[in-house]
């Protein structure tokens, strides 16, 4: 459940890691537009907490291409370079935006040159969330501080609510996943009932076309293993499909 939830959060942030170690990118234009509005309206500098490395890369490239001086703090940035970035952020005009992987700078760092904290996506750790926000709420802060939570899914909204109510997200993750699974099953069953009641194989919804059945063709050059699979799983229909298909 936790792994599935993590995938959903990655997609919301704009990039999901594949099983092969790569990453698939998704449209972040709407979320990015809101972030730009926050940056433009902020009276001081801005911290942006981004939980996933590839999303950090995508967002950093977009900000820099738009002419916004941006630096990055994450796990693979050497300590000496982090120290230099923090110092410049606190004392120089640039960088204006600091993108941070939450667990990389959640403790012991003063970043009062910023008065706006933006969460590009939620972290599942209550401690990390509280400590990250505290980077601007420290001695020497002279401006009113704002925390902005960007969200585009029900999962993100629920996690932010848990964090704001100081409820440990990890303890609620299984319950949240179970709730989502039940909702999906309810929708699926309702669509199946509609198809059966109207004697149709598909129904068009606002999210696309739902098919009650799918026609799948199977092919194999290894009859021995296919026969073993058919016998073990009691699926003789696969044999029928194989016989009805030409090579």
pLDDT at res. 189: 82
Strands 114-119 vs 70-73: parallel, antiparallel or unpaired: unpaired
Report the greatest alpha carbon distance in the chain: 77
For residues 98 and 71, the answer to whether their CB atoms sit within 8 Å is yes
Q: Which pLDDT belongs to residue 191?
A: 81
Measured CA to CA, the distance from residue 180 to residue 183 in angstroms comes to: 5
The pLDDT value given to residue 244: 46
| Better-predicted residue by pLDDT, 15 or 220 | 15
Alpha carbon of residue 230 to chain centroid:
39
- The answer to whether residue 64 scores a pLDDT higher than 60 is yes
The string of pLDDT tens digits covering residues 104-130 is 876 779 999 999 999 999 998 888 998
Stretch 170-180: mean pLDDT: 64
- pTM comes to 0.69
Mean of the pLDDT values across residues 74-89?
Answer: 94
Looking at the chain, the whole-number percentage of residues with pLDDT higher than 70 is 76
Average pLDDT along the chain = 83
Tokens representing 23? Answer: 């990453």
In this prediction, residue 172 has a pLDDT band, given cuts at 50, 70 and 90, of: low
State the average pLDDT over residues 165-182. Answer: 67
How many beta carbons lie within 10 A of that of residue 47, not counting itself? 24
188-223 pLDDT, tens digit per residue, is 788 888 888 888 877 777 766 776 665 554 555 666
Taking each helix axis as running N to C, give the angle between helix 154-164 and helix 126-133, from 0 to 180 degrees, rounded to the nearest 10.
70
Q: What is the DSSP letter of 1?
A: -
Task: Give the residues across from 16 on adjacent strands.
Answer: 24
């Amino acid at each position: 459940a936790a792994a599935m939830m993590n995938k959903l959060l990655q997609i919301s942030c704009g990039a999901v890691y594949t099983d092969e170690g790569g990453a698939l990118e998704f449209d972040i234009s709407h979320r990015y537009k809101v972030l730009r509005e926050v940056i433009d309206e902020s009276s001081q500098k801005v911290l942006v907490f981004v939980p996933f490395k590839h999303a950090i890369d995508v967002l950093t490239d977009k900000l820099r291409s738009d002419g916004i001086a941006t630096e990055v703090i994450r796990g693979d940035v050497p300590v000496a370079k982090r120290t230099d970035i923090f110092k410049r952020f606190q004392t120089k005009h640039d960088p204006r935006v600091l993108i941070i992987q939450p667990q990389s700078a959640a403790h012991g760092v003063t970043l009062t040159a910023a008065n706006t904290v933006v969460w590009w996506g939620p972290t599942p750790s209550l401690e990390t969330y509280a400590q990250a926000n505290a980077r601007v709420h420290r001695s020497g802060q002279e401006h009113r501080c704002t925390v902005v939570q960007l969200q585009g899914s029900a999962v993100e909204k629920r996690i932010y609510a848990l964090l704001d109510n100081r409820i440990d997200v990890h303890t609620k993750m299984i319950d949240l996943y179970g709730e989502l699974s039940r909702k999906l099953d309810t929708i699926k069953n309702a669509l199946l009932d509609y198809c059966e009641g109207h004697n149709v194989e598909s129904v068009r919804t606002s999210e696309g076309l739902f098919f009650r059945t799918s026609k799948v063709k199977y092919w194999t050059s290894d009859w021995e293993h296919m026969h073993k699979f058919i016998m073990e799983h009691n699926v003789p229909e696969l044999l029928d499909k194989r016989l009805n298909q030409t090579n």
